[in-house]
Structures are given as C-alpha cells and as structure tokens.
Structure 1
Amino acid sequence: MARPSPTPAEFTADRIGAVEAAGVEYLPEDARDSGPRNLAAVFLGANLTWTNVVFGAFAILFGLSFWQTVTSMVVGIAVGTLAVLPTAGIGPRTGTNMTVSSGAFFGIRGRFIGSALALAIALGFAAVTVWTSGDAIVAAAHRLLGTPVGDVVHAVAYAAVAALMVTVALYGHATIVAIQKVVVPVVGGLMIVGVFAFAGTFDPGATGGEYALGGFWQTWALSAVLFAAAPISYGPTIGDYTRRISPKRFGDKQICAALAAGMFTGVLLPSLFGAFTALTFVNPTDSYIDDLVAASPAWYVLPIVAISLFGGMSQGVLCVYASGLDLEGLAPRLKRTQTTIITAAVAIALLYVGVFVFDAVESVTAMTVALNAVITPWVAILAIGALRTKAYDPVDLQAFAQGRRGGRYWFTGGWNVAAVVAWLAGATFGMLTVNTTLYVGALADIAAGVDLSTIGSAVLAGAIYLALSRFPSSASRHRIARSGRPNSCDFASARAG
C-alpha cells in the first residue's frame, strides 16, 4: 500500500477572521506563514493575564517578602523557560502539534500520554483563567455600579468570559496571533500604569504573614515551583504555533530566542505586578482580586475590567485551542471545531466545581504543582529527544489518524518502552515529593520539606531515558535480524527513542 501523502496546502490555509480548517494533520511548506515574532507575541500576550498576577500574589500570601518573592520568581520562570526551549524546534520539522510530534519519542500509541497530559493542563488553566477574569469583572462592576456579588452573578460572568474565549479559539491560529498582538501593548501598558496607581502604599519590607509551609526554604521552593509551572505548562502547546514556522526560512536559534523572550517576559511582568500590588493591601482577605479592586483608585477600576477581558481571553484562548487540537489527536474522526466546543464545556464544568465546591486558592495551587510534577518529566524527555533528533518522518507521525500500524515510530506495539518507563518513574517521583498546603506527597520531607517535584522528576526521567534509549527496541532488533542489516529507519527510530 502506498504511503499517504501530506495534506495539500489549500486545505491548511490560515487567515485572520476565517475559521481555520487545519487540525493536527501535517502542514506543508506552503502553509508555513508564521515566524518567530508571532511566536514571541503569542506567548508574551498569553501570559499577561490574571492567572500569573495571582501566582505572584500567592507567593506573598505564602509569607514571603517582596524580594524573596522576586528571587523565587526569577529562578522558577528561568528554569521553566529553559526546560521547554529545546522543544521549540520540533514543530517546524514535524509540521504538526506537540502531542502528535511526541510520537517520535513515545511511539504512535505512546503519544496518548502527551495528549492526556496536555488536555488536563489546558482544561485546568482554562478554568483558572475564567475564574480570575470573571471574579475581577464582578468585583469591578460591584464597585462601579453597585451590582450584587453572589454565586449567580459570578456564574454569569464566568459564562461570558468563557464564551469570548471559545469564539476566538474556534477561529484558530491566525486570529489568535492577531489578537495577541493587540493584547501585548494594551494589557502590558495597563499593568505598568497599575504600578503607579498602587505605588503610594507599597511596602517592600512587608510580608504576607507566617511561612505557609513552616520554613523559608520550603515556602520559597513551593513559590519557585509555582512560577516554573507557567512556562512548563505551555510545553504541549508550543507546537501549536511553531508548526506554522518554516524551518527553511528560520533557524532554531531564532525560534528559541523568540520563545524565550516571550515566555520569560510574559510570565515575569504580571507576576511582579501581583506581588507588588499584594503588598499594598491594608487588610488583605483570601481573595486577591477583591482586594485589588477595593484598594484600587477609582480611575483604575475600568483598566482592571479591560485586563480581565483582554488578558483572560488571551490565555484562555490558547488553552481552549490547544485542548481542541489534543482531543482531535485522540479522536481524529472529529473536526477541530467540534473538539474545541467539547473541551471548552469540560473546562467550564471544572471551573464551577473548583470555585463553588472547593477552596479556590488551595485548589489552584495544588492543581498547578501536581500537574507540573507529571508534565515536567514528559517535557524533559521531549527536550532530550529534540536535541538528539533533527529529521522526522511527518507521514509516519500521522499513522494513528490514518489507521495504520508499523512505520518508523511504531517501536514495540506502538509504544517506546524507554520513554514510557522514564516518564512513569519521573511522574511517580514528582507526585510523591509534591508539598503544598492541600496535598503533601509521601516523600515530601525527603529534603526537609523543600519541594523537589519539578527538578527531581525531570532529572530522574531524563537519566532513565538516556540510559534505556542507548539500546534499540526489541522490535528494531527483530527487524534488523530479519533483514540481516540495519536500515536507516531502524537507526533513526532507535536514536529518536
């Protein structure tokens, strides 16, 4: 049977204001109409949102001072950004999103791990984005117009923010990129103005109280892990945008530099804003957003609404768009628009459960750190694979969607045992060493309470993967034995694995 050819360019065109037809299928060179500047704009704009602002405030609530928070912030964001940088070159070479591309390292069936993780992260962060933006709008409306602040009003605000996110996500890549280019100057500028709005009551020597985990280093590590989670959580999403960049026109250094600039700056600025403003509240409560609106000068309340709408949409759109692509990768018979609607509905349901059933602050912290513990080893394996692999077979990567068995990335029954075992070991260690106020792993005290879930899971998974992938899979050895000599696919498969 002849090998299927990649999707023609006319079916993968991408225009602003038009619904993107392409899903996770291979995008040919003619469809690569994006570039590094777009990549930087996407991840800069997507991070200028209340989610990262609230994370900055969380560190103060944990009991850290402003400068202690800044050090944990810089270290955490830098570690998270460096972790995902090597993966930036995968999408341009595979022409598809990151979870489908992960089949080159995990196997055609092994890539389901990445799809499941990406779905969980996208849905979780979409819910957090709607929660923070909706709360800000309700609080601002109450101060300006005297509207009520009950559960019904919050539910309506959440629905309105979610509807805006889903609408933009349905249009797809070109429209998302165009909106991010508007979000960057608008939201970034409003946050800078906000520093002056709250500067009069800022006290850099104040803290949020006692250390949340009983000691400085334990609490500082929790804060750093929380900040690292933002860049790492985008690991499965990066390919959604790099797949539209031509590797013939742009080199890896250009793509990585653009991603690093957008990611690091995008997470740092709102996080600093959150920590800065949290220390201006005279009588802080458990709700940072409510405190922000209450302490804000009257003239800055409308900018808070603008940040809520534009910032919430910018991050939420990336989450919803990514979740739609990931679900399409699992259910190729569905269209991207259909899977986007399905995953958006699930995200909204998660939001209502998290806000109205559980404590929102503790739920968000625990969810973020726990997801980070299982996604980090997956990202580490992809980063190692990306550094060792320059050539991919885009046709064989689409084997699952085309209902085919075998090929370069089939490994052992569709699974690369080395990568799967390494990820399982890393994720298990990560979950056992998580240390938050809501969930404490069985090995959380292994380093006197300092959270090792991120660094430890990545190092363990990477070491095991490197050790096991030195040897070809059993399936590769069987093919070599039958033919009497190795072929290029056998060596490439073993090297990619």
Structure 2
Amino acid sequence: MTATTPSQDLHAAPADHVGGIETAGVEYLPEEARDSSPRNVGAVFLGANLTWTNVVFGAFAILFGLSFWQTVTSMVVGTAVGTLAVLPTATIGPRTGTNMTVSSGAFFGIRGRFIGSGLALAIALAFAAVTVWTSGDALVAAAHRLLHAPDTRVAHAVAYAVVAALMVTVALYGHATIVAMQKVVVPVVGTLMVAGFFAFAGHVDVSAPGGNYSLGGYLPTWALSAVLFAAAPISYGPTIGDYTRRISSVRFSDRKIGVALGAGMFIGVMVPSLFGAFTALAFSNPTASYLDDLVTNSPAWYVLPIVAISLLGGLSQGVLCIYASGLDLEGLTPRLRRTQTTVITAAVAIVLLYVGVFVFDAVESVTSMTIALNALITPWIAILAIGAVRTRSYDPVDLQAFAEGRRGGRYWFAGGWHVGAVVAWVLGGTFGLLAVNTTLYVGPLSGIAGGVDLSTVGSAAIAAVVYVVSLRFVEA
C-alpha cells in the first residue's frame, strides 16, 4: 500500500510552515515531510469551490432556460459524476510523493507526462483568469452601489489587478499558507453564502417553470448544464496531488483520504452552484452580467458580504490555480524554481483574463472554454483513475527521471511514452471535442444523441476502454 522507498539521492524536503515560502517543488517528498492530513485536503477543495465561478455556473443553468428544479437535478448528477471520476486519483499523491502530472508518468511514460502538464497548465491558467474576472466584477459592482464609484473598464482593470496580486502573493508562500487560508475561507464564505439564500428568499419562486432553452430543447440544455457542473471537480483533477502528496500513506488509509476529498469536492460545488441558481431567479430583468444583477438586486445589508465573498472566495480558488500552474511549469522546466514559475504563469493568466473579458464575450467564451477543456482533461483523468486502481506501489526515483536528465527506468516504456495510454487519451479527447455542444461551438458529432452533450461521458468511456485493452499488449 505504500510507495517504494527511494534511493539515498532523494533528499528530505524542508517542512513548509504558515507564513514561510515553501521551498519544495515537484521533487519527491519523503515520509518525514508528509505533515498534512485528509482533513486538510477536504478543507482545501471545499474552500476552493466556494467561489463566484461555481456561483456563476449555477446562474448559467437558469439563463440557459432550465427551471430551478431542473437545474438542481443537472447539478447533482453533474457534480456527482465529476467527483466520482477524480476520487480514485486521491491515492496517487500519497504513494508517489509528488504532484499529479509528474505522477502521471507512471501511466503515460516519462515523456508522456508532458500531456498532463500541458492540460494542467491550461486548466489552471483558464480558471485562474475566470476567478479574477468574476471576483473583480463583483468588487466593481459593489463599489458602484456602496460608494457610487464609476463602473468603467478602467475600474474593472484595477479590480482584476488587485485580486490577481493577492492570489499570486498567497500562491508564492505555498502549501501550508494555502491550507491555513482555506480553513478561514470555509466557515466565513460558507456562512455568507447560506445567509444569501435568506437575503433573496422573498423574491424567488422555485416553482417557476423553465423555457426558451438555449440549445433548443430540454435534454440538450440539461446535459450542457450537467457537463458544466461536472467540469468543476474534474478540472481540479490535476491539482489533487499538490495536496495529497503531503499526506502519509502509512498513517492514513485510502478510504479516509478519498472520503475527505469527495466530501470537499461535492459539498464545495453544490453550495455555491445552488446559491447561483437560487439568486438568478430573483432577477426580474436580468442583464448580461450575473454579478452586476446580484449586487443591484441585493438587500443593502448583503452588499458587504458580497465583497467578502469576492475577496476570500476569489483567493480560495485562484490561489490553487496559480500554485498548481507554478508546479506544473516547474515540472517542465526543472532549472527554474517554483517561485519563478509561479510568477510566470500568473502573468500569463492575467493576460488571458484581459483578452477574454475585453475582447471576447465573457459568458459564451467561459462556457465553451470550460466544456472544451473538460473534454480533454476527462479522458486523462479516466486513465489515471484506472492506473491508480491497478497500481499499489511506484518508483519515486524513476518518476523523477526527467528532472534528473535520465533515460530508461520503469516508466520509460517506448522512448518515454506509454503508447496505449497516449492513444487512449488522443481518441477520447478527439471524440470529446467533436461531440461538444455549446452556444458558441457545436461539434460535428454533437447530434449523435439528439443534441445531448456526450463529450464528457463519451471521452472518458473511449479512453478507458482503449487503455484497458492496450494493457494486454503493453506492460504498465
């Protein structure tokens, strides 16, 4: 049940502590450096989901034309599917002692893990940008109502910069500081969101029917909504190892780690998504900006809580994204330190944000981006989940072969690539992109199920079948 003991050349990483800059990167963390617990992992992913991103996804479902209860069913199904998809990967980090993308070399090969690094970078950068956008917009709207501050492009640009600066600062400190921050975010933001249900209750009719479905019918629109909700836990798949690698596989069982992660993911997505769907029903004349509508229609006493959610909730998700992107880039460029790669990826995320908000339509681009990335990351997660179930021990030395400039070893396979895993991911991801059905992009295979979006389920199923079959011919 435990990872293979590494050789003497893998030195102990210094323990990280709150307020100190973490010096460890993606190198192997020995047993004595495993100072975290399943409870910390649950808190991290619960807090990371209590953000405007998931709130807006909940509101999107209403804007797509679903009724409240139709939205709830798509929310429960999508969140449950996404959470179950990533649960098996919770065991990887404690056994490999490194992050998820480096660990993926055990299944994709030492060079094949570059696929995971690329996907993880894309996911982290995209969601970091979305987090800054949603939190910044909420701050501007609140300042406009409370202080009559101007609601201009300049104001939005400044708000984005402030939120981004806070995110980068915490991400630079690293693991221990992030965990401590999430333990504050969970009770504070969770309580404020629950209070929000009472703030808007007098203006909401949850029995109101839906209609005017954005994809022309109930089932395609419901499926689009479910895929969006599944995207939240799945998108965190590459970052799970950032936190589970610091948990001892000797002191904690797989079950405890999995239960903590699953609870954090599911509850974390459901609470803000329900909040978004519930409050969206309170807007009699909704505009293109849910967050503007939220502040405008909010009771005066709830505007300050909106500000607090914007800052704390934005930090909780954005910090995870920036921290993860720094680790993933370090895995690709071993000569750079984690702090350096974190600054680089943060700068890229901010550029993506400004382009997405000021050049493209935010709502449509965010929806389409999320679905497309989900179609690519889901088959990768499916392969990791199968690999995690089949594998009980890993070789931490050989997993670090790329960083050390070595060739060969247990995970070299065919020139550094596990052909079966790569082919499985390519086929699954290709189907996923071709089957996507959004308001901005409709894939050529989107109509194979009457318009129902099969990009997530189909891509995972194809990748899983091809990978399992390949294992009969290629030793994994």
Shorter-normalised TM-score: what interval? over 0.9
Which of 269, 275, 278 matches 2:277? 275
Q: Hey, what does 1:12 align to over in structure 2? A: 14
TM-score when normalising by structure 1 = 0.94
Which of 191, 210, 219 matches 2:212? 210
Distance 2:211 2:348 in 1: 36
Q: Hey, what does 2:386 align to over in structure 1? A: 384
> Residue deviations 1:124-144, cap 9 Å, x none?
000000000000000000000
Where in structure 2 are the equivalents of 1:39-78 lying within 5 Å? 39-78=41-80
Distance 2:262 2:237 in 1: 12
| Alpha-carbon contact 2:44-2:264 (below 8 Å) kept | yes
The residue type equivalent to 1:297 in the other structure is P
Tell me which stretches of 4 or more aligned residues in structure 1 moved more than 2 Å. 3-9, 205-209
Distance 1:470 1:34 in 2: 37
> Residue deviations 1:393-449, cap 9 Å, x none?
000000000000000000000000000000000000000000000011111101111
| Alpha-carbon contact 2:28-2:396 (below 8 Å) kept | yes
The residue type equivalent to 1:318 in the other structure is L
For the residue of structure 2 that corresponds to 1:445, the secondary structure is coil
The offset of 1:282, in angstroms, is 1.3
> Residue deviations 1:182-241, cap 9 Å, x none?
000000000001110000001112356510000000000000000000000000000000
Q: Hey, what does 2:344 align to over in structure 1? A: 342
Which of 402, 405, 413 matches 2:404? 402
Distance 2:161 2:345 in 1: 14
Q: Hey, what does 1:483 align to over in structure 2? A: none
CA spacing shift, 1:8–1:456, aligned 2, 3 Å:
same
Q: Does 1:197 align with 2:199?
A: yes
For the residue of structure 1 that corresponds to 2:313, the secondary structure is helix
> Residue deviations 1:133-161, cap 9 Å, x none?
00000000000000001111100000000
Q: Hey, what does 1:418 align to over in structure 2? A: 420
For the residue of structure 2 that corresponds to 1:324, the secondary structure is helix
Distance 1:207 1:134 in 2: 32
| Alpha-carbon contact 1:6-1:28 (below 8 Å) kept | no
CA spacing shift, 1:6–1:187, aligned 2, 3 Å:
farther
Which of 113, 116, 133 matches 2:115? 113
CA spacing shift, 1:6–1:74, aligned 2, 3 Å:
farther
Distance 1:206 1:236 in 2: 39
The offset of 1:5, in angstroms, is 3.5
Distance 2:443 2:377 in 1: 17
The residue type equivalent to 1:131 in the other structure is W
The residue type equivalent to 1:448 in the other structure is G
| Alpha-carbon contact 1:6-1:27 (below 8 Å) kept | no
Q: Hey, what does 1:135 align to over in structure 2? A: 137
Distance 1:152 1:432 in 2: 38
Q: Hey, what does 1:243 align to over in structure 2? A: 245
The residue type equivalent to 1:152 in the other structure is V
The offset of 1:276, in angstroms, is 0.3
Distance 1:285 1:7 in 2: 56
| Alpha-carbon contact 1:123-1:319 (below 8 Å) kept | yes
For the residue of structure 1 that corresponds to 2:219, the secondary structure is helix
CA spacing shift, 1:92–1:206, aligned 2, 3 Å:
same
The offset of 1:8, in angstroms, is 2.5
Aligned CA RMSD, in angstroms, stands at 0.9
Where in structure 2 are the equivalents of 1:246-325 lying within 5 Å? 246-325=248-327
| Alpha-carbon contact 1:195-1:277 (below 8 Å) kept | yes
> Residue deviations 1:329-379, cap 9 Å, x none?
000000000000000000000000100000000000000000000000000
| Alpha-carbon contact 1:61-1:209 (below 8 Å) kept | no
For the residue of structure 2 that corresponds to 1:261, the secondary structure is helix
Distance 2:472 2:102 in 1: 23
The offset of 1:4, in angstroms, is 6.0
The offset of 1:13, in angstroms, is 1.2
CA spacing shift, 1:392–1:205, aligned 2, 3 Å:
same
Distance 1:97 1:30 in 2: 17
Distance 1:6 1:157 in 2: 46
TM-score when normalising by structure 2 = 0.98
| Alpha-carbon contact 2:80-2:266 (below 8 Å) kept | yes
| Alpha-carbon contact 1:6-1:26 (below 8 Å) kept | no
Q: Hey, what does 1:490 align to over in structure 2? A: none
CA spacing shift, 1:52–1:207, aligned 2, 3 Å:
farther
For the residue of structure 2 that corresponds to 1:447, the secondary structure is coil
| Alpha-carbon contact 1:324-1:343 (below 8 Å) kept | yes
Q: Hey, what does 2:3 align to over in structure 1? A: none
Distance 1:55 1:98 in 2: 26
The residue type equivalent to 1:374 in the other structure is L
Where in structure 2 are the equivalents of 1:18-37 lying within 5 Å? 18-37=20-39
Q: Which segments of 5 or more consecutive residues in structure 1 lack a partner in the other structure?
A: 473-493
Q: Hey, what does 1:102 align to over in structure 2? A: 104
For the residue of structure 1 that corresponds to 2:223, the secondary structure is helix
Distance 1:209 1:464 in 2: 39
Q: Which segments of 5 or more consecutive residues in structure 2 lack a partner in the other structure?
A: 1-5
Distance 2:381 2:225 in 1: 20
Distance 1:47 1:102 in 2: 24
Distance 1:270 1:47 in 2: 8
> Residue deviations 1:45-83, cap 9 Å, x none?
000000000000000000000000000000000000000
| Alpha-carbon contact 2:67-2:211 (below 8 Å) kept | no
Q: Does 1:365 align with 2:367?
A: yes
Which of 182, 185, 196 matches 1:183? 185
| Alpha-carbon contact 1:12-1:27 (below 8 Å) kept | no
Q: Which has the larger radius of gyration?
A: 1
| Alpha-carbon contact 2:59-2:290 (below 8 Å) kept | yes
